[in-house]
Structure 1
Amino acid sequence: MLWDARRGVVLHALRGHNGSADAVSLSADGTRAASSGADGRVMVWEVGRGVLLRTLRGHRGSVLGVALSATGHRVVSGGSDHAVRLWDAESGRVLRAYPTNPNASIRSVALSGDNTRVFAANYAGTVYAWELKTGRQIATWTDPDGWNAALATDWRGERAVTVSGTSPARVWSLGKKAPIATLHADGGEFQGVAMSADGNQVVTVGEDTVARRWDARPQVDGMALPGHREDIWSIAVVPGRSMVYTASSDHTVRCWDLSRGLSSGPVLSHPDMVRSVAVSHDGQRVLTGSDDRKARVWSAAGNVLRELVGHDGEVARAIWSADESTIATASADGTAILWDAGNGAPRHRLKGHGASLLAVAFSADGRQVLTGSQDQTARLWDVATGALLQTFIGHENFVRDVR
């Protein structure tokens, strides 16, 4: 999916892979995207129109990692066939193949922001670095824990960071064999990682309900965002600011200032666990959904502006349409309700699912809404009339998310 990062709406659904899509990458100028998957193909897309520009074929087996150059004209890929390739996205030609261990699948690849260096990490714990133009290998590092799940690099390709499940994250630097920093989480698994352009900060995400920001300089401890006492269900980013909201089973929603790593502003409270949080485009309103069967619209100052009452079960999800004129809530009572965001009045109750609803999403133009349910179906509705347009049947388990 291609999303508008400011409005939080889907711009295009990129369809074409036969099987799972295992990796995606966006060019720095935002004009192109690349995806790779279990079908052994790499696909290059135009972001503006969401159309396929080129399909790159040559890998044998799943392509687990892909990275785009700043302008999207070069693509790096790596996969289960142990190969790392540099492609010309215009012609589809392979420009270079980089040698790796023939007995270990490539799990992740990265391209430095200045397009001078290529990185790859495999399941055997080896991290490679090459000069892009010449193919000369300039570094090889070995993770002592034996495998790598994800990889990121700084802008100039002088540092890289790897994560490997329950093992520590490690920061590597050209010219040094051992990691310059080892980042230990308190629990859970590392599942993803990003590095700042200057290589001095790292963000990791994992299973322990916490996103962590680390100082990537040698042996400086990371910073967690403590405060919630129970599971975190939802997170929402404040557009244009280094702030996020988190919703938790401890009945609260908290706002965090990421620049300082501190809780900021009032704590928003429901009588029961809060499963959903969303933020308006201007950052001045917050929308929450709770097991108390209500959704609430709050001011950023912590005042309740609207209380949406009408469900007979827990509110699993609450969202705004792109123009913020309509609110949709999805509930364990098996229905979704469309609300007038201005006065809080219900417009339509969407009935038809045979079990609890778990997900809801508006179309980009706000004219349709999609719901997902424990009845293993997704259903598409007309926002203006509340009429059911289509039912999607085929899943063999709960439909937990829709876009």
Structure 2
Amino acid sequence: MLRKKKKNKKNTHADREKGGQLRTKSIDLLNLTPDTDVNELLSDIRAAEPLITSSCAEQVKVLICKLQEKVGQKDDRRFYLFRALQAHNLPLTNVAFNKSGSSFITGSYDRTCKLWDTASGEELHTLEGHRNIVYAIAFNNPYGDKVATGSFDKTCKLWSAETGKCFYTFRGHTAEIVCLAFSPQSILVATGSMDTTAKLWDVESGKEVSTLAGHFAEIISLSFNTMGDHLVMGSLDHTAILWDISSGMLFTFSQVTEEKSVAFSSLIVTASLDKTCKVWDADSGQCLATLLGHNDEVLDVCFNYAGQLIATASADGTSRVFSAETFQCLCQLEGHKGEISKVCFNPQGSCALTASVDKTARVWYANTGACLQALEGHSDEIFSCAFNYEGDTIITGSKDNTCRIWH
């Protein structure tokens, strides 16, 4: 059976029974446009994928056509406040959706992580056990059945998203854990710490796989590539390091001042306190471009799901969207009245979402920079925001101890 993934990475999945287990094959259609010749694309897919037989080719074509229609639609959705949740007794640190958007998690200074049902706003589980601030949180998307929490108590915990049970506590760091990520296959959890190291942990056994040492200051961001075999880390020592999970360190990328954020697609982009971002070739380690234009520190950077666009967020109160192919600035997102700490794209890549100290989040057209909507109502700065997989729901997390769900 073939099924369409409606948005996000523009892909289709083929499932088959093999050895009694359901196998899934992902076919990326990242360059699909309204002008793509569907018959030619289908021919190319069939040539590369023996699984696509003549008997199911027509179904694949229908799915591609539906995806193509979605890609061509103008996204001018407006969001309305669905629910404001008094999530914690102390300020939040982060918010994150599972892939479907059916649930989300919040981390807090109150030492807990909470799991919420998006549709009802009901609290499903409180994940208790950390002895200090829960700073970094993540679902093991696309599966969404596990949650990882990283804390200032120097530990990371792995939880069941379904029952709230703690599977493992990962111990070994000697300072606060400030960032973490699941590998795309949910085999590993990577944790980054102020002890200058990152560690890899086996999700199945709970054991430490390796320690990645090479930085000389705190690690504040990390990101896996889509294959899960490489990890890039950004540090306050002015560098980012790319690691091959199996063989070790590959490249060191140097900036003028501290790294603030890193993002990994087919390229690597690093955001720095020197007001710039740099784009790096993940195969050669060469710097391909320096993204200029901000007049204050760049605090966050991200790719869209297709890896074709780069968005930056700055302390100067603006964001920018760049082409990941030409490295040219496509538009500026101007309207916030304070620094922007977080930026992300919707799954279609048509809109960007920003969170600011001015107590608002804003939705922008990614191609023009026009502000589609300001999300107002928080009483303190918003430091975290996210779209769900469908792009029709937003969550915002604020220092006012609340998170808001927007439909």
TM-score (normalizing by structure 1): 0.57
1:148 to 205, 219, 223: 219
Superposition pairs of residues 227-242 of structure 1, within 5 angstroms? 228=293, 230=295, 242=308
Give me the whole-angstrom Cα distance separating, in 1, the residues matched to 2:253 and 2:368. 36
Shift of 1:144: 3.1
Residue number in structure 1 paired with 2:260: 191
**Alpha-carbon displacement from aligned partner over 1:146-185 (angstroms, at most 9, x marks no partner):** 32112222344322121112520111112334x2121222
User: Which residues of 2 match residues 326-341 of structure 1 at below 5 A?
Assistant: none
| Structure-2 residue corresponding to 1:295 | none
Q: Per the alignment, do residues 158 and 371 of structure 1 end up closer, same or farther by CA in structure 2, a change over 3 Å counting? A: closer
1:56 corresponds to 2:127: yes
144, 147, 151: which one aligns with 1:79: 151
How far 1:114 sits from its partner (Å)?
1.4
Work out the number of aligned pairs and report it. Answer: 283
Identical positions, percent? 24
Cα deviation, 1:1-44, whole Å, max 9, x if unaligned, reads xxxx9757465545312223223333233333222121110111
Structure 2 residue 166 is matched with structure 1 residue 94? yes
Specify whether residues 32 and 215 from structure 1 end up closer, same or farther in structure 2 by C-alpha distance, changes over 3 A only.
farther
Cα separation, partners in 2 of 1:6 and 1:261, compared to 1, 3 Å? farther
2:236 aligned with 1:165: yes
What is the deviation of 1:63? 1.3
Whether 1:181 aligns to 2:247 is no
Distance in 2 between the 1:175 and 1:237 partners?
A: 26
2:94 corresponds to 1:23: yes
The CA deviation at 1:86 is 0.8
Structure 1: gaps of 5 or more residues? 269-273, 285-297, 303-317, 322-360, 364-369, 377-393, 396-402
Inter-partner Cα distance in structure 2 for 1:233 and 1:134: 38
The Cα shift of 1:51 comes to: 3.6
Q: Contact (CA 8 Å) 1:183, 1:222: kept in 2 or not?
A: no
The 3-state SS of whatever aligns with 1:115 is coil
CA RMSD of aligned residues (A): 4.6
Aligned AA for 2:269? V
Q: Residue by residue, what CA displacement relative to the aligned partner does 1:301-332 show, whole Å, maximum 9, x if unpaired? A: 99xxxxxxxxxxxxxxx9444xxxxxxxxxxx
Q: Which runs of 4+ in 1 moved over 6 A?
A: 232-241, 244-248, 252-255, 281-284
Higher share of residues assigned helix:
2
Match of 1:111?
Answer: 182
- Output aligned runs, 1:224-373, within 5 Å: 224-226=290-292, 228=293, 230=295, 242=308, 256-263=322-329, 319-321=371-373, 361-362=374-375
User: Aligned AA for 2:270?
Assistant: T
The whole-number CA distance in structure 2 between the counterparts of 1:119 and 1:223 is: 28
Choose which of 193, 209, 212 in structure 2 pairs with 1:122. Answer: 193
2:162 partner amino acid: E
Cα displacement (A) at 1:133:
0.5
On the 8 A contact 2:310/2:324 being kept in 1, the answer is: yes
**Residues 269 and 301, structure 2, Cα contact 8 Å, conserved in 1:** no
Unpaired stretches in structure 2, ≥5 consecutive residues: 1-74, 338-347, 352-364, 382-398, 401-405
CA 21–219 in structure 1, closer or farther in 2 if over 3 Å, else same: same
Residue-by-residue CA offset, 1:314-360 (whole Å, 9 max, x unaligned) = xxxx9444xxxxxxxxxxxxxxxxxxxxxxxxxxxxxxxxxxxxxxx
Find the aligned partners of 1:43 and 1:115 in 2 and give their Cα distance: 21
1:42 equivalent among 88, 92, 113? 113
Partner of 2:204: 133
- 1:285-316 Cα shifts (integer Å, max 9, x gaps): xxxxxxxxxxxxx9x899xxxxxxxxxxxxxx
Output the CA distance in 2 between the equivalents of 1:193 and 1:31: 27
Is contact 2:145–2:162 with CA below 8 Å preserved after alignment? yes
Q: Is the contact made by 1:180 and 1:217 (CA closer than 8 Å) also made in structure 2? A: no
- Partners of 2:313 and 2:245 lie apart in 1 by 40
1:83 alignment partner AA: T
Indicate how the Cα distance of structure 1 residues 88 and 319 shifts in structure 2: closer, same or farther if over 3 A, else same. Answer: same
8 Å CA contact 1:164, 1:190 repeated in 2:
yes
CA contact (8 A) 1:116 1:156 kept: no
| Shift in CA distance, 136/186, structure 1 to aligned 2, threshold 3 Å | same
